[in-house]
Structures are given as C-alpha cells and as structure tokens.
Chain A
Amino acid sequence: MQRRVIFDNRALPYLLLAPQVAVTLIFFIWPAAQALWQSVHLQDAFGLRSQFVGLENFQAVLSDPNYLETVKTTIVFSASVTVLSLASALGLAVMADSKIRAAAAYKTLLIWPYALAPAVAAVLWMFIFNPDIGILGRALNNLGYAWDYRLNDGQALTMVILAASWKQVSYNFIFFLAGLQAIPRSVLEAASIDGAGAVRRFWTITFPLLSPTTFFLLVVNIVYAFFETFGTIHALTHGGPGKATETLIFRVYQDGVVNHDLGGSSAQSVILMVIVIALTAIQFRFVERKVHYS
C-alpha cells in the first residue's frame, strides 16, 4: 500500500491533497449527502418547509407502475446494448487479430467512434433514420415498412439501442484486441498442430482466456448503458414516444429537473447510487483477483 522510502514533511501532503479534497467535498460528498437527506424528506411546493417522511419516497417510487415500467425499459435497453456491442466488438477484434495485411489500418478505422459524443452519435443516426429526410428512414417507408421511430415505441427503443451500441463497439474492440494480443501464440499454434480448427481453437482456448476482459467489459458496458447514454436518448427521442425510451437516469432528470419532484428524484438517485456502488465493488473485486493471477 505504501513505499518504503518517503519524505518527512508535516504540512506539504495536506496542501497537495487540498484541491482534490475540496472539490470532492463540495461537489461530491455534500451533494450525495443532500440526496440522501432529501430522499427521506418531503418538501412543500415552494421548497420552504420539509418534513421527515422516512422511507415514504422510496415506497412511492417503487410502487409506481410507471417506475417499474422504466426499470423494465432500462433492463431491456442495457442488456441489448451490452450484448450487441460486446458481440460485434469481439467479432471484429478476432478478425483484426488474425494475421492479415492492413490490420493497423483497420484498427484506426474502427476505434475513432470512441471520440464521438453520445449525443452526436444520436444526431448521425437521426439524420439517416429520420422518416422524412433520412436515407434509410425513407427507404424503409418506400419498401412498405411503416417506419417512424418518433411514433412507434418499439422502433424508438430499437433506434436508441442501435445508436448507443454503435458508439460503444470501438471501446470494447480496443480491450478485446489488447486481450487477444496478450494470448501467447505458442498455445494457439500447439492446438493447431494437434488438429484443432479455427472455430474450435476460439471456443476452447481464446474465449476462456479472454474471460477476464469480457467480465470487465460486461461491468463497464452496463455502467455505460445506465449512466452515459443520457445524451443519446435525450438527443434522439427525449424519452418518447410517451415513456417508451425512458431509462432510470432519464427519469431522475425528468422528475427532478423538469417536474421538480425533489423527494422522488432523490429517492431514485439513492437507488441508482446503490447500483453504482454494487457494480464498482464487483469491478474492483475482479481487478484484485486478476492481480493475483498475473
């Protein structure tokens, strides 16, 4: 945990830590404590008086059929984004890792979407799939398929899933490629000499050896789908039509910022904090285990 040789100085370490600790206290710890406090209080319409209500806010949130619908949407959305972006990234990484010419060029061409803002990715998709002006949106309609993601729930959800996954593939690709390149060639060659074909080598050797990377990415992708896709959804569908593409984060924003329901929004925030803490804990236990292995 600590180096053997250190410096002796009483005040300096505190000074060095001061900026980070100040920002953390003011903008992280204090607001999080506020969220906890608000989640067990009820404020009047003007925010002048508040009353302790215990777990009432949580009860109200969790028994709201609308909220449960949002939970369902979030699960469908996150699971689809995670599976879709992991699977396509793995496929592309395996191909880029095979000994082919121009592998470096493919790599460059595949990793840049990481740099796109989720909201900008949403705009690109909107421009293509807009039913009035988008090339593919119009093509779908011309083929006789009634495409309008602004009106149809299922189509809207499909759009946000595709746009969010599209952006995430490059991230997963980088990690899968790094993982693949860490697998010793000799193991694969030995299997190849023993007569294992490409597919068999992949499932019996490559895939198991990639499992730490896959597990890490699984957690990261769930976190991404939960928290970082706000921009995608906000830009593309604004949570609509109706509430068809409203995820948990979108709803915290909607209830808190747009509808000014502080207690409800805070209770939702606390529920989400529990989810993040659980995911982070899983991620770090995994990292620790991986350190033991290496």
Chain B
Amino acid sequence: MTRDRDTPRSGGRLMDMVPHLILMLGVLIFAFPIYVTIIGSTWDAATIGRGNLPLTPGGEMLNNYASAWSESQGNRVMHTPVRIMMWNSLVMALVIALGKIAISIISAYAVAFFRFPLRMVFFWMIFITLMLPVEVRIIPTYEVVANLGLIDSYAGLTIPLIASATATLLFRQFFLTIPDELVEAAKIDGAGALRFFLDVVLPLSRTNIAALFVILFIYGWNQYLWPLLITNSAEMETVVIGITKMIGNGEAATDWNLIMATTVLAMLPPVGVVVLMQRWFVKGLVDSEK
C-alpha cells in the first residue's frame, strides 16, 4: 500500500479522527485535576471529607472563596488569609520579574556597547550563576540573608533571586544584532550612551522585555524552596507555600474546601498570564532557552 493515509484527500474519515482523539485525551488528562479542584471548591468540608465529592458543582462556592480570601481560620485549620498571601506572591513575582529585567538589560548593554578592562571577567561571573541554582547553595545563601537581617522581608525574598544570566545573555545577543549604522548615526547626532539606550535600545527591546516578563513573573510566583526558607511569619507567606501548610498531613479532617478554593486562586494569575500572553510567552521561552 503506498496510499498516503495522512491527508484528508486520500485518507479515511477514521484516520482523520486519530489526532483529535489523542489531543483530546491529552487535554482531558490536563484538565481533569483542575476540574475536580474547582468542583471541590464549591462543596462543604464535610462532603469532601466523607469522600463523596460529586462531579457537579455544590452550593458553597461563595462561602468557601470568601472565607479563604479574608479569614484566617476554617473549621479545622488555621491559615493566613489568602488575600495577604496573594499580595506577597504578587509583590515577589513583580519585583523578581522587573528587577531581573532591569539589572540584566543594563549589564547586557554594558557588555555589548563598551570596551573596558575586566569586561570578560564580569561577563563570565554573570554566566557562572547559571550553574549555581539556589537549591545547591541553600545553607550558605540563607546565612548571608540572615546576616544581612533580611529574613521575613520582601528584600530577602526577592534580591537573592534577581541576578539572571539567562536574561543577560538574551539581551546581549539581541544587542549584537543592532546595526552599527544606527549607533554611528546616534553618535553623529551627539547622543551619548545613555541617550542612545533610552531612545533607541529600550524601545527596540520591547518585545524581548514583554516575553521575558511573562516567563519571569511565573518563575517568581511559583518559587517554593526559597520562600520556605526565608519566611517564618504568617504575614510574609506566599500562596504556594501557604497551600501546602494548610494541607499539613493531608488527613481527611482538613478544610479541603478552603484548600481547593485557595488552590484555584493561586493558579489564576500565572495561568492567566500564560493564556493571555501566549504569543509572547512562547517567543520568550524559545528565545531565552536556546
């Protein structure tokens, strides 16, 4: 048989269905846990605790979200109100994303547009951070932050994560593609390095900045190990950490309804950012990783 079964023209209808079936199965596997979570957030704790969670929405949705959002205590567990945790996560994600972009773009500019002693030493020093993820230097980094008095502070949560070799490399690579003629023209017009940066380089980098922002926002929002170490007070907890603290040992006698409502709320910002800014997100990902 040399018939091409892959194109609609010559193929049977059944074969055309195969990609749809496989993709739908994939979507189902990804969507099912989310669906169950959303359903779980609309029932009362007792129904879930008995293990009889129906697959249709219950009537407790408003109650659950309202009490997770603003109260610090359910029937069985104490937790930080979600609005406080969401605020902490938001501050952390924004400071990390904007801070990484800001310090990376100026250091990439320095490395790409100037020639100065020790240029390559600095470049390699930044590059090396790629190889030192926070996970492998947990204790000494914690000690540095503790010595600086930054435990339980936004500065301690964000500044140690703000250096970014990936973003610096990406911006540098992009800067190397800016035509020499453009720089010449700016110099002839009497523009200095800072003027050129603000008037030409920054506007040209808009797409890269937007793409990186999406990825870095998600990176910041989803941090786990670092906030686990650096925050002790309930007031400084991020929502990702807060959820796992609410679960405790995962017994049936937990306010699963509140946990599920919190989980849905914790997912909304990063998932929303990816879905709404899909084009930039994909560009940023494929550009920055390759």
Contacts and interface: CB of A to CB of B under 8 A. Distances in A.
Given A133-B48, A235-B247, A269-B138, A117 B290 contact: no
A219 to B, nearest CB: 11
Contacts of A273: 131-132, 136-137
B256 A4 contact: no
A78 B156 CA distance: 31
* Residue from A27, A98, A235, A280 whose CB has the most chain B CB atoms within 10 Å: A27
A27 B193 contact: no
B159 A249 contact: no
A16 to B, nearest CB: 4
A253 interface: yes
Nearest to B102: A19
B144 A257 contact: no
A62 B69 CA distance: 47
A176 to B, nearest CB: 11
B112 A2 contact: yes
Main DSSP-derived SS at the B contact region:
helix
B138 A253 contact: yes
Contacts of B163: 20, 23-24, 27-28
B94 interface: no
Interface residues of A, number: 102
B26 A17 contact: no
* Residue from B49, B102, B103, B112 whose CB has the most chain A CB atoms within 10 Å: B103
Contacts of A114: 218, 274
Contacts, number: 313
A124 to B, nearest CB: 4
Given A31-B141, A109-B31, A127-B256, A234 B244 contact: yes
Interface in A20-76: 20-21, 23-32, 34-35, 38
B26 A126 contact: no
A37 to B, nearest CB: 9
A134 B50 CA distance: 10
A133 B53 contact: yes
A292 interface: no
A7 B168 CA distance: 19
A151 B10 CA distance: 54
A218 interface: no
A91 B25 CA distance: 11
Contact of A16 (B110, B228, B240, B271): B110
Nearest to A109: B27
Interface in B219-266: 221-222, 224-225, 228-229, 240-241, 243-244, 247, 250-252, 256, 259-260, 263, 266
Contacts of B260: 127
B244 A111 contact: no
A28 B131 CA distance: 10
Main DSSP-derived SS at the A contact region:
helix
B221 A262 contact: no
Contacts of A100: 16, 19-20
* Residue from A14, A96, A115, A257 whose CB has the most chain B CB atoms within 10 Å: A115
Contacts of A265: 138-139
A178 B168 CA distance: 23
Interface string A256-294: 110000100110010011001100100000010010000
Interface string B107-124: 101111111100100100
B244 A123 contact: yes
Given A192-B4, A216-B290, A265-B139, A111 B278 contact: yes
B172 to A, nearest CB: 10
A220 interface: yes
Contacts of B149: none
A35 B36 contact: no
Interface string A228-257: 001100110000000000000100110011
A117 B222 contact: yes
Interface in A94-126: 95-96, 98-100, 102, 106-120, 122-126
A114 B160 CA distance: 24
Interface of B: 1-2, 4-8, 16, 18-20, 22-23, 26-27, 29-34, 36-37, 40, 48-51, 53, 55, 102-104, 106-107, 109-116, 119, 122, 125-126, 128-133, 135-145, 159-160, 162-163, 168, 175-176, 178, 180, 183-184, 187, 192-194, 196, 218, 221-222, 224-225, 228-229, 240-241, 243-244, 247, 250-252, 256, 259-260, 263, 266-267, 270-271, 273-275, 278, 281-282, 285-286, 289-290
30 contacts: A2-B112, A3-B178, A5-B180, A12-B110, A17-B106, A19-B106, A20-B126, A23-B160, A23-B162, A25-B125, A29-B128, A32-B132, A100-B16, A100-B20, A110-B30, A111-B274, A115-B271, A117-B240, A120-B267, A123-B247, A123-B259, A128-B33, A130-B250, A178-B282, A192-B6, A192-B7, A198-B6, A227-B133, A235-B224, A273-B137
Given A133-B50, A166-B30, 13 more contacts: A2-B115, A5-B180, A7-B196, A21-B122, A34-B137, A38-B140, A96-B23, A102-B20, A115-B267, A127-B259, A197-B4, A266-B140, A269-B137
The 4 closest A-B pairs by CB, nearest first: A231-B224, A34-B140, A117-B222, A31-B140
